[in-house]
Amino acid sequence: MSSVLEMIRGVASASPDAVAVSSAEGAMTYAELVAAADTVAAALQRAGVREGDVVAMALSRPHLPAGVLAIMAAGAAYLPVDTAVSADMVGTWLAECSVRTVLSDREPDNIPSSGRTLVRYDEVLRSEGGADAERHRSAAVEDALAYVIPTSGTTRRPKLVAVGHRGLAAHTRALRDACELKPHDRALQFHTINFDAAAEEIYPTLAAGATLVTLDEVPAPHELIVFCQEHQITVLNLPTSYWHQLAAEHTESLTTGLASVRSVVIGGEGAVAELATKWVRDVRIPLINSYGVTESTITSTWCLVEEDDAQPDVPIGSPIDGTTTRILDDDLNPTATGSAGELCIGGVGVAWGYLGEAGLTADKFRPDPYASTPGGRLYRTGDVCTEEHNGRIFFRGRRDLEVKVRGYRIDLSSIEAELTSLPGVIGAAAVQSAKTEGQLLAYLVTDPAPGNQVDADGARRHLEGRLPSWSVPHVFRFLTSFPLTSHGKVDRAALAARDAESALAAAQPVVPTKVAPESTAATVSGIWSDVLGVPDVTMETNFFEAGGHSLLAFRILSNIRRQLAVDVPAKTLFDTPKLGEFTAEVEALLVETERT
């Protein structure tokens, strides 16, 4: 079985002058890609990297393809490190993986340098050019480790999933063939490498001899439409939460701007049925809804969404090639068709397990009693699903307190444990917002005694550095007591209902004091209130402190464009996060637009 590196070497041999990667830095042919990978591989080996090592990697999008191939060519596996992760957490990962070498194109602030060698990708290529391009051949065999990637949902001991080359190669072939990728395709690389979905963009595209087109940073949906038109993108692979924002754009803009796009793959969260129906009926670009977990090599099921499929729920489809799925009860016995059970995944894509977590690995990765060949393993996802008579699977919820927010898997109990360790907090409950997509809410009951007061800023600061950035709640609310179920447990359904009521109240535009209802400020504040789910916004409200994040920023900018007919750059909101300052920028843009 060929590794992904060998597949891509084969493409480079057959079509050396074809464009492999297109970025703002320019185009890189397949011959140049392989030569760069081998040159960096040589530098890694000189730095002490040996077969079986794990190399930490912090690279920008244009350098990812050559960087991951270089680590493979050196016989090592890669551990992606994102700039948003705290240095303490990164240090834990590096120690768990015994990392001695870091490959980066910058000076990584959050990677502890003590006892580790930094290999600068950019400096190696500048100083060595294409040297040693023939010396280094892949040590990436099917029984070797390909990468280690952290899952979210933990605090001080992140779960690190070990994925082998055999599973990665099988996934690459399955996705290349299922997407019918051809050399003429131009696939967008949207994700950063800390998401395993980036591997789903990189490897199938390059294994097909197609062109991978990289972004400098994630654009607003309307900007993505322009980018796709300018770069003639044919295949998109997007987080579902981002696609929701894209699908809400005007149909005419979508059909015109995405005219070159022949397929859109979404995944990471449940798709909104109404938007899927609109997309299939009106936009008419084939939409593929996928489902996967890190522990089974990225994607396990998918389906082409038809208009009749999207109501009332969008199916997550059926298994991809090389993967098996079963809906099982607590004793791992099959459930009846249409009955709910735990989705369990088998096949070649099942990961090796969790590094340093033998007990958890034994619990979640079981011998597969249904495997057709000896040694098969079954991963218990913890997701409750049903399988209908037509073989399509539907997601119905979680067995535990793990949720997905913007594609990240988050263990709510870990958030609650950290909050209750804060002096003055009697109890804490974290929930996923029912109305504001991509938001986490934290409800706290605090000790009323003097000196024990806890505010939202203090709670947020307490969590930052202790949790991954994506696990820090966006909104903190305080209660005198929790609603309880008849069994005396926190009634999470009641908290979700409370969230829905707050969001409903927030849907009414809020007019700032001393501002006329028809003013720009009133429109902008109403949009903020609606999108953030915060009814009492003021000119001092800070977008990020009120629970804002990049996806909600895109929604705000999109609504402003619809209601005020002005394009506000995403950078404006990030540079001026206070409502009053941001509103002044919007007003200035409106004046400039009127002049032109």
* CA dist 550 → 15, 409, 556, 573 (Å): 39, 17, 10, 10
Tracing tokens 């099921």 back to the chain, one arrives at 301
Bridge partners for 331 per DSSP? none
Give the whole-angstrom CA distance, residue 74 versus residue 53: 9
Contact criterion met (CB below 8 Å) for 132 and 42: yes
* CA dist 302 → 36, 170, 316 (Å): 34, 16, 5
**Angle, alpha carbons 289-293-295 (nearest 5°):** 150
Tracing tokens 């298994």 back to the chain, one arrives at 319
**Angle, alpha carbons 484-489-494 (nearest 5°):** 45
* CA dist 432 → 20, 216, 341 (Å): 40, 30, 22
Contact criterion met (CB below 8 Å) for 560 and 575: no
Two structure tokens written together for 435: 């109305």
pTM passes above 0.75: yes
CB proximity list for 534: less than 8 A, separation 6 or greater? 475, 506, 528, 541, 546, 547
Q: Tens digit of pLDDT per residue, the chain (596 long)?
A: 589 999 999 999 999 999 999 999 999 999 999 999 999 999 999 999 999 999 999 999 999 999 999 999 999 999 999 877 788 888 989 999 999 999 999 888 888 878 899 999 999 998 875 555 445 554 556 679 999 998 854 334 568 999 999 999 999 999 999 999 999 999 999 988 888 899 999 999 999 999 999 998 888 888 999 999 999 999 999 988 788 888 878 889 999 999 999 999 999 888 878 788 889 999 999 999 999 999 999 999 999 998 776 567 899 999 999 999 999 998 999 999 999 999 999 999 999 999 989 999 999 999 999 998 888 999 999 998 999 888 899 988 777 777 777 777 787 877 887 887 788 787 788 988 776 767 888 998 886 666 667 888 888 888 887 888 888 888 888 887 777 654 456 777 778 777 655 543 333 333 333 333 458 888 899 889 878 877 778 888 888 878 777 767 877 887 888 788 888 887 788 888 899 999 999 988 888 877 66
CB proximity list for 384: less than 8 A, separation 6 or greater? 340, 341, 342, 343, 395, 396, 397, 398, 399
Two structure tokens written together for 410: 């988050």
Dump the DSSP string for 334-378.
BPPTT--EEEEEEETT---EETT-HHHHHHHEEE-TT-SSTT-EE
Contact criterion met (CB below 8 Å) for 482 and 446: no
Q: Integer distance in angstroms from the first to the last C-alpha of the chain? A: 61
Give the whole-angstrom CA distance, residue 299 versus residue 293: 7
Question: What is the edge-to-edge ordering of all strands in the sheet holding 26-29?
Answer: 26-29, 19-23, 211-214, 186-189, 235-239, 263-267, 287-291, 301-304, 318-319
Contact criterion met (CB below 8 Å) for 209 and 183: yes
